[in-house]
Amino acid sequence: PPRCMALLAVVSRVRAAAAHGARGARAQRAMGGGLSRRVATFAASGSFRPDSPTLYSDADADDSSFLASKTALVTGPTSGLGAALVRSWATLPQAQRPRRCVLVARNADKARETASALEAAGIEAATYICDLSAPVEVLRTAKEIAAAEPVLDICCLNAGAWLVDPAPVLDADGLEAHYRLNFLHMVCFVQELTPLLARSAKASGGESRICVHGSYTGMYFSKGELDIDNLKTSDPARYKLAGNIEGSFPYSQTVRCTR
């Protein structure tokens, strides 16, 4: 996959390390000692499937050639890993850079700043302002993008958060905040943008890609468990699942969903 997977899908490298022992030391150096040892132990336990279709080689993960002259969408591109992702594209050799970036963000000022950095590198940028934790707004924005953008080759679903509120935060429909932002926005974008991705692939004679970005932290807290009954409302008794840390249960569950 393109650079986005190299930057954000660290867990794929750890899977590879578990499956191909020789890479273990390199993966531990990349992730840091204590956490990487727990990752390796978890991977060796069988909770990770070495034969997963999302497992890529180091060469695949470092290959950014697929980005060349493509149109890529990124949710949450103005801070954290999302910002690092899109800004890294501006540092690629000119021939490897995407042609256009579609930025979906909540903060208009930060979105314009990110767009300006891309445009300075010769990459077209379009911004769509959207609160990705509001399902109705997400659907509206996804439909707007599908209607306005003639081409979409790559959809990087990156936006997410770990909230530390003392109790679950529900909207008027009873949907928990982590569930809305970390998972539901991805479902909405995939549902609305898949036809555009498919048309773009057919027109180019190539392929389109959906990249879902996640976090091993959430996988670790869930211990491989997915509690279907509590995805939307988050049982208050389990809200502080990991070491009494607020939000750890719903955060980890939404990450499990994306996997």
Residue with tokens 């790559």: 154
How far apart (Å, rounded) are the C-alpha atoms in residues 224 and 46?
10
Letter for the amino acid at 97?
R
Are residues 112 and 77 in contact, defined by beta-carbon separation less than 8 angstroms? no
How far apart (Å, rounded) are the C-alpha atoms in residues 99 and 257?
31
Q: What is the pLDDT of residue 121?
A: 96
The string of pLDDT tens digits covering residues 103-125 is 999 999 999 999 999 999 999 99
**Domains of the chain from N-terminus onward:** 1-63 (no CATH), 66-258 (3.40.50.720)
The string of pLDDT tens digits covering residues 168-220 is 777 787 777 777 888 889 989 999 999 999 999 999 999 999 998 876 665 55
Weakly modelled stretches of the chain, pLDDT under 50:
1-54, 233-234, 242-244
Q: What is the pLDDT of residue 170?
A: 79
Are residues 88 and 3 in contact, defined by beta-carbon separation less than 8 angstroms? yes
Q: Which H or E element spans position 74?
A: strand 71-75
Q: What is the pLDDT of residue 58?
A: 64
What does each C-alpha distance from 38 to 41, 126, 178 come to in angstroms? Answer: 5, 40, 25
Sign of CA dihedral 57, 58, 63, 64: positive
